[in-house]
Structure 1
Amino acid sequence: MTTWKLVKLNFGRSPVHFGELGIGMEESKERVRSDTLFSAWVTAYARLFGKEAVEKLLQEFQQNTPVRMSSTFIYREVDKRTIFYLPRPLKFPINYPKDNDLAFFKTYKGLNYLPLEIWQRWYQTEGFSTDDSQELIDRTNKKDGTVTALKNAGTFDYKTAFSTDKVPKIAVDRVTRATNLYHTGFVQYHWEQNGKDVESLSGLYFLLQIERDDKQLITQLQHALEFLGEQGIGGERTSGAGQFKVQWLELPKIWQSVTKFSDTSAHQCLLSMFWDNDQAILQNLITANSSSYEIQERGGWLAESNIRRQMVRMFTEGSVFPKQPHGKLIDVTPSEFKRHKIYRSGISFSLAIKVQI
């Protein structure tokens, strides 16, 4: 029996540095993708429970995938309600006016993330409306219109959930002792002081789809994630970055309806990174006119070393396929690394949606 969990990562006053291939130290992404989350989580699991336990865990993921996880996405606390953002699928929603969208298309394309309320309406229930068109036109023309459903849902406020900054740092050459000034980018989620406590007003969340009722495994994964929160995720952890507290939640009512949605013509929208090397499977997924996807090269360094993992190209969140993808773990062990295998998760997490073909 499949069960679902929503997990919130509350960073409080702790900034984060999430680097990705090609963006450099001066920039930081505001969220963590599923493959990076998986790697950090498994590393924490190995430190807590040892080599044999983590090898058994990885074997389970290779054989029957006990748990699927989404990438992390932004949440905001606004007026006693939580706004969850999801990536806009790379297909138009039903009822989208493709033939006369020039008045607002640029604004629409700029909406990389949608509030769950709008995401569900556009891609699972009524679809795109004439009021949505008018509000996007008013937004494009910088007018205060009478239609405000998108605005009230937080559609245009994604970037208000966090702020970015660059911190100057000094690197010292070990041989010559020469110094070099550089800058590191950090993201700070919003928070406020509530008495002696720090309350997170925004942060990250992700979804878990638990495929097997194994209480011991789930408890161990919970402990490992809490341990990861103490250690920190991302870069610049020695500077105190990336530390978080974990909230394990049952699915709110709106999420229950989103995850249970089904339709005879439904497609699947990726909410995680995805990889597979079976050409027959991939050919069925990328059928012309039925799929729309983006691919990103993923790399990175091994923890506490100067050795790079093997590069791999993966489908990104928001990609849309006519069938449900499944994915696999990828062996990305560098040839010069002999201690143990290194894996990146290409196991998919997707939700059913309706799209305009």
Structure 2
Amino acid sequence: MSVWKLIKLNFGRSPAHFGELGIGIEETSDRVRSDALFSAWVSVYARLFGKNAVEELLQRFPSEKHPQLIPPLRISSTFIYRQENEHTIYYLPRPLKFPINYPAEDLEFFKTYKKLNYLPLEVWQRWYQGEGFIGGDAEELKTETKGKSNGHLRQLGTFDYKKAFEIDQIPKIAVDRVTRATNLYHTGFVQFRSDNNPSGLYFLVQLSPEGDKLADQLKAALHLLGEEGLGGERSSGAGRFEIEWLELPETWQSIVDFSAGNYHTLMSLFWDIPIKTEFLNNASYEIKERGGWITENQLRRKMVRMFSEGSVFKEEPQGKLVDVTPIQLVDDKGKYKFHPIYRSGISLSLSINIKEK
């Protein structure tokens, strides 16, 4: 029996820089994906508990060499939450298939619907685990396409996702170490609301019985990660947060316990090999290239392509750790000169009901 936790990251007045492959330092994402969160978490875990402890932890995850292992934990990517008075709005990625009762032939509001990359928890649950799309939804989306609606979807925060944060570019000066010449550049930062109705990031954790025994260590490592910061520009104080390690609220519990769905949608990135052709039958998915640098030696990790959040599959995806160790760190006999570098493709998904063709 697995145990679920809801983790909230409260950044307060601390800005953050979340880089993505393919965008410059001038840009920033508004959230952190599951593989980057996993890498940062495990890195801090290693410093806190030592080399042997982290190696023992990683050996429990399924990989190409040990595909049948049950991972001690699965984590989602981070997503936005927004506080509105006494109510917390959690945003979830919209699955890449239409909900039940969606009028696919009606194109009048499709442009507005397509922009809804994230849905409030209540809307997401009704569309994908409940009665589905209703006539009132269609009428409100049509109104929103022409102007600004004031219906049920707006009251739940469906169109207010970007109210939770602001993204700004901050000018910085680089000084050449030899010539002392200066160069002006800009760095993008995301700033979450920190007023009476604060916002931040959250993610889900699914712990196996073995993983639940490590909960205290994982929690301690996450606290330390919050003190050091998540993302880039940490030397400037960016990315620092405080955590709330919470039991699942009742609504969330009903969502993760839902088992009557006909498909599964990703709440994390997902990588596996081999992928059977049948697995992709009737699937809807997007692919993200994931790369980056190794902090210790400034070498670039191997590039890997993963299925992104919101992707939908008939079968429940599982995932593996993928070895992204650069060629420079592996000798002719295949032994590591440094230590293996892994990226997490371990998936976390939710059961959903969607419209069949």
Q: Which TM-score tier does this pair reach, normalised by the shorter chain?
A: over 0.9
8 Å Cα contact 2:84-2:197 kept in structure 1: no
Q: 1:84 and 2:90 equivalent?
A: yes
**Aligned-residue offset at 1:52:** 0.6
Aligned-partner Cα distance in 1 for 2:43–2:94 = 31
Q: Please point out which of 111, 114, 134 is paired with 1:106.
A: 111
**Which position in structure 2 is the counterpart of 1:154?**
157
Aligned-partner Cα distance in 2 for 1:279–1:250 = 34
Which amino acid in structure 1 is aligned with residue 23 of structure 2?
I
Q: 1:117 and 2:122 equivalent?
A: yes
**Aligned-residue offset at 1:98:** 0.4
**Which position in structure 1 is the counterpart of 2:259?**
262
Q: Return the TM-score normalized by structure 1.
A: 0.94
Aligned-partner Cα distance in 2 for 1:304–1:232 = 17
Structure 1 residue runs without a partner (length 5+): 193-198
**3-state SS in 1 of match to 2:355:** coil
Q: 1:71 and 2:77 equivalent?
A: yes
| Cα gap change, 1:259 to 1:132, in 2 (>3 Å) | same
**Aligned-residue offset at 1:212:** 1.5
Which amino acid in structure 2 is aligned with residue 296 of structure 1?
K
Aligned-partner Cα distance in 2 for 1:26–1:150 = 33
Which amino acid in structure 1 is aligned with residue 28 of structure 2?
S
**Aligned-residue offset at 1:23:** 1.1
**Which position in structure 1 is the counterpart of 2:295?**
303
**Which position in structure 2 is the counterpart of 1:195?**
none
Which amino acid in structure 1 is aligned with residue 268 of structure 2?
S
Which amino acid in structure 1 is aligned with residue 351 of structure 2?
A
**Aligned-residue offset at 1:144:** 4.4
8 Å Cα contact 1:3-1:211 kept in structure 2: yes
Aligned-partner Cα distance in 2 for 1:207–1:235 = 22
Aligned-partner Cα distance in 1 for 2:209–2:278 = 27
8 Å Cα contact 2:15-2:191 kept in structure 1: yes
Aligned-partner Cα distance in 2 for 1:279–1:168 = 45
**Which position in structure 1 is the counterpart of 2:65?**
none
8 Å Cα contact 1:11-1:200 kept in structure 2: no
**3-state SS in 1 of match to 2:243:** strand
Question: Pairwise CA RMSD of aligned residues?
Answer: 1.3
Aligned-partner Cα distance in 2 for 1:215–1:322 = 29
8 Å Cα contact 1:266-1:322 kept in structure 2: yes
**3-state SS in 1 of match to 2:92:** strand
**Aligned-residue offset at 1:284:** 2.7
Aligned-partner Cα distance in 2 for 1:14–1:303 = 22
Deviation string, structure 1 residues 240-281 (Cα, Å, up to 9, x no partner): 000010101111111011111111x5200000000001133x
| Cα gap change, 1:99 to 1:215, in 2 (>3 Å) | closer
**Which position in structure 1 is the counterpart of 2:166?**
163
Q: Please point out which of 306, 316, 320 is paired with 2:312.
A: 320
Identical-pair percentage: 62
Aligned-partner Cα distance in 1 for 2:238–2:285 = 32
Q: Mean Cα displacement is larger for which, 158-167 or 299-308?
A: 299-308
Could you list the structure 1 runs, at least 4 aligned residues long, displaced by more than 4 angstroms after superposition.
213-216
8 Å Cα contact 1:189-1:200 kept in structure 2: no
**Which position in structure 1 is the counterpart of 2:321?**
329
Q: Mean Cα displacement is larger for which, 207-216 or 48-57?
A: 207-216
Q: Please point out which of 222, 229, 234 is paired with 1:232.
A: 229
**Which position in structure 2 is the counterpart of 1:250?**
247
Deviation string, structure 1 residues 57-104 (Cα, Å, up to 9, x no partner): 10012332011110000000002010000000000000000012x111
Which amino acid in structure 2 is aligned with residue 72 of structure 1?
T
| Cα gap change, 1:250 to 1:143, in 2 (>3 Å) | closer
**3-state SS in 2 of match to 1:138:** helix
State the aligned residue count. Answer: 343
Q: 1:285 and 2:279 equivalent?
A: yes
Aligned-partner Cα distance in 2 for 1:132–1:215 = 40
Aligned-partner Cα distance in 1 for 2:247–2:148 = 40
Which amino acid in structure 2 is aligned with residue 92 of structure 1?
F
**3-state SS in 2 of match to 1:61:** coil
Q: Return the TM-score normalized by structure 2.
A: 0.94
**Which position in structure 1 is the counterpart of 2:332?**
none
**Which position in structure 2 is the counterpart of 1:202?**
199
